[in-house]
A = this chain, B = another copy of it.
Amino acid sequence: MQETCTVNQTVRYLARKWTLLIILELYKGPGYTRRFSELKNALEGITQKVLAERLRELETEGIVTRHVDASAFPVRSEYTLTESGLGLVEVIRGIKAWALTWKLENAECGGQDCSVCVL
């Protein structure tokens, strides 16, 4: 069946709101790592619910790993891009290249204020 093919699935969750920005935010972090609260602050407008949902998805997809330090207080949760997650950054780069080539009206998107332009 066509729907079983992973390419569809991949694009599907990549396209969920915030997913891309979360991946790029992790990519910018030291060791490709960020804490929950850091992500929350960096991604202005995201709610905890959505952030938690997206991170869970990415975790079950093997794109990020979670490390919880329960010994500390308050609890720390750190999220790190896996190797496959880094591979996805390449994919995103490809999409951006396409967008810059064919969507000229968005060329201004090379500015620093755009999270995606870190690529």
Contact = CB atoms under 8 A, between A and B. Distances in A.
Copies in the assembly, this chain = 2
Dominant SS among interface residues on chain A: helix
A96 B7 contact: yes
Interface residues of A, number: 38
Contact of A117 (B5, B11, B114, B117): B5
29 contacts: A2-B21, A2-B43, A2-B114, A2-B116, A4-B106, A5-B106, A5-B114, A5-B117, A6-B109, A7-B20, A7-B95, A7-B99, A8-B21, A8-B116, A10-B95, A11-B11, A11-B14, A11-B95, A12-B15, A15-B15, A62-B102, A83-B102, A84-B98, A84-B102, A87-B101, A87-B102, A88-B98, A91-B91, A91-B95
